[in-house]
Chains A and B, each alone.
Chain A
Amino acid sequence: MIVEGIRGDAENFPVGMRVLAVDDDPTCLKLLETLLRKCNYNVTTTNQARVALKMIREKKDRFDLVISDVHMPDMDGFKLLELVGLEMDLPVIMLSANSDPKLVMKGVTHGACDYLVKPIRIEELRNIWQHVIRRKKVDSKNQNRSSDQTKAHPASGEGHGSPLAGNTDQNGKFNRKRKDDDDETEDNDNEYEDNGTQKKPRVVWTIELHRKFVQAVNQLGIEKAVPKRILDMMNVEGLTRENVASHLQKYRLYLKRISTVATQQANMAAALGVKDSGFMHMGSLDGFGDFRTFSGTRLGNVALSSYPGGMLGRLNSPGNVNMRNLTPSTLIQPSLAQNLSSSINSLGKMNLVLPTSNQTPSLFQGIQPSLELDQLQHNKGTANFTSINNSRIFRTGSAGAALGSSNNLLNSPMSNPLLLHGNTQQPLSGGRFGNQSAPFTSESFNNGVSDPANENWQNRVDASKMHPNTLLSAEPFHSQLPLNGLRDNNSSNGTYLQNNPIDLSSGLALPPFEDSREMQCQVGPMGDVQNMSQSWSEQRQGSGIVNQKMDIYTGGRSSGGASALVQQNGKLVTESIPRSNEDFLFEQPKLPSGLTPQGYDSLDDLVNAMIKREQDETVPNGEFAFDNYSFGAGM
């Protein structure tokens, strides 16, 4: 290994690719190590997940790939997967002696880029480098988009040869979607260069920044919002048109996703029937299963969206109404709200989410009560949350949990992610969400909650995991969007989930939840929470970004009332974000009482905060989520 930051031996890649192998079984670990060495990779091993995490965290670019066993005593492999994926955006391959499809699915939804069954053959390991390349391409693409696109190198950067063709195609396709050859070549070129050297400095979309962005977009009108004008309106020094353009793209995707989900939710709601109980069941039952999958998330989103309506309604009756009646274009917010609610519900019960559908009237009802209940029953919510989204949901779940405590939405793992998003979105709670959701979301939960319930979440959360991060870290939003989509396995789920988490996060902001949720999250004790938040934020970045944005967007959409919330949230959020976990602990989400139905603005803040958090990798997840949520509430 030459230089630490450089990806192994760039010229001879995959030779020298730096792999971290984690397996508690010494026999398997030794075997794995030898197999990997035989493939000429640079191998580091450890039999403890915590040590692995530490190693990865202490130096961001230390490894190219992580291979981890699923069943480990000190930490569940899926949890590690989530954390690594969210925080570090490293490709992770799961390993297990168990080939049960459910586990494989779980791996996929949690973000694994591959799942290998023991005993492993060396042939299987010879191709794992493709995951590294694939991810770099995606990253590169995201990054490159913002930067100038003048580079026009031939596809040399693309591959290290034909094997990359596959990856290239994938990335290429993605590139093409954006811009045609320019992007592709540019990306390839950049990737090639960047992979080995340094990454372009990313623009961190802080909550503040995102809020400005959303404001600008709203002022211009989503259709008329062009990067140049947005940039002018935002009036931020150092921000380039390209940055705005790529962020806008993500935002658009987010909105699209929201609306799709909303539709789904509507369907679901219809199917489920508006009852709360109905909701709950739905969510928990098939909803969850679906959530996990791509479609599942949709529902969650849908649910969430409806929820927000409810939430909003609660906070701001007029606001709520408005939400619901929002036109399709404006529905985005409601959708988000719905998602929030869904997420919240999901936290309690996935079901709730579903009913929300765009119509949301029913949902609102369902949600509202749940919301109220949630607030009262933080604990419930939290508990639910944890189960739902251990990682993700908590974050939002906290908020959502509070909301959905009554609902028991949490059951549905899927919902969690959504809820989380929903929660966060719930700017209704106003500031709370922002604060709460961000830090609180799954991160805290995850840590705290580790119970089996969490397990559920984890599965769900996986998908959502992606999200929570996003929710909390407003920042991740932007970056995440593309990433999420790009991720191989998680793309569908991830993307969706991501949205959700954000929702939840926003929702989480609810202070009341915090208390209950905190239980869960807090359980994690700050330390955990912190970790959670960290991982969370990190995760979010990837996935969450998308979500967060969504939330933010919705927040933006909301009426002015929300602005108050937003401000609160923004404040809270920003505060928490930059800080490490400790900070958040102290920074209690002011939301609880203050949140009041500020409206979406707060969501925006939340989202921003979330995004910010995400961006703020250093800022432990705890910051986001914890700040508002856990700490404030009852921690």
Chain B
Amino acid sequence: MERQAAYLRNALFDQGYLDEQFLQLEDLQDQANPHFVEEVVKLFYTDSVRLIQSIELTLKNTPRDFEKLDKIMHQFKGSTTSIGAKKVKKECTQFQEYCNVGNVEGCIREFQEVKQEHAALKRKLENYFQLAREAR
């Protein structure tokens, strides 16, 4: 179990899903805060749903309000940065670039990517936490 959990965790790093920031989170986990990482991730996913929905809605309105989109995405990106979600963050940046140039198609496409990465990471982390919990 432990090995499996560790393996999964390393894979996440190797595959670029997570970056050093995640390590910071882990560092903060200790006796006083035994489930810190999981809590933060959970918090992230709960909160990010609202942001994603907001972007969806804004993307539907025409003409596209790029400034608003950029603003929401900036917020979203801030969160993803905090937990070290590397791939998601990358897609966010890409999305913002499309916003800056007013590329609607690009934004829509990129947003799909963001959502995908966001969901993929969620699954992986959930697995990992599951294993880690069982291993304890």
Contacts and interface: CB of A to CB of B under 8 A. Distances in A.
Given A35-B28, A119-B21, A27 B74 contact: no
A25 interface: yes
Interface string A309-349: 00000000000000000000000000000000000000000
B47 A27 contact: yes
Interface stretch (B78-86, B97-105, B107-115, B118-126): B78-86
Interface in B63-99: 71, 74-75, 77-79, 81-84
A75 interface: no
B116 to A, nearest CB: 20
A97 B28 CA distance: 20
B78 A34 contact: no
A624 B114 CA distance: 50
Contact of A27 (B27, B36, B71, B82): B82
A118 interface: yes
B25 A31 contact: yes
Given A71-B75, A118-B82, A27 B43 contact: yes
A173 interface: no
A165 B44 CA distance: 40
Contacts of B43: 26-27, 30
Interface string A567-588: 0000000000000000000000
Given A25-B78, A34-B33, A119 B84 contact: yes
Nearest to A69: B78
Nearest to A73: B75
A97 B36 CA distance: 22
Interface residues of B, number: 24
Interface string B30-52: 00010010011001101110000
Q: Give the dominant DSSP class at B's interface.
A: helix
A122 B24 contact: yes
Contacts of A50: none
A21 to B, nearest CB: 13
A30 to B, nearest CB: 6
A421 B74 CA distance: 37
B47 to A, nearest CB: 5
A28 B24 contact: no
Interface string A86-124: 000000000011100000000000000000001101100
Contacts of B78: 25, 28, 71, 96-97, 118
Contact of A31 (B48, B75, B82): B82
Nearest to B84: A119
Contacts of A28: 78-79, 82
A25 B48 CA distance: 9
Interface in B1-46: 21, 24-25, 27-28, 33, 36, 39-40, 43-44, 46
Contacts of A38: 28
Nearest to B41: A27
A97 B81 contact: yes
A38 B84 CA distance: 19
B5 to A, nearest CB: 22
11 contacts: A25-B82, A27-B43, A27-B79, A27-B82, A27-B83, A31-B82, A34-B28, A34-B33, A121-B24, A122-B24, A122-B27
Given A24-B75, A119-B24, A122-B28, 13 more contacts: A25-B47, A25-B79, A25-B82, A26-B46, A27-B43, A27-B48, A30-B43, A31-B25, A31-B82, A71-B74, A71-B78, A97-B81, A119-B82
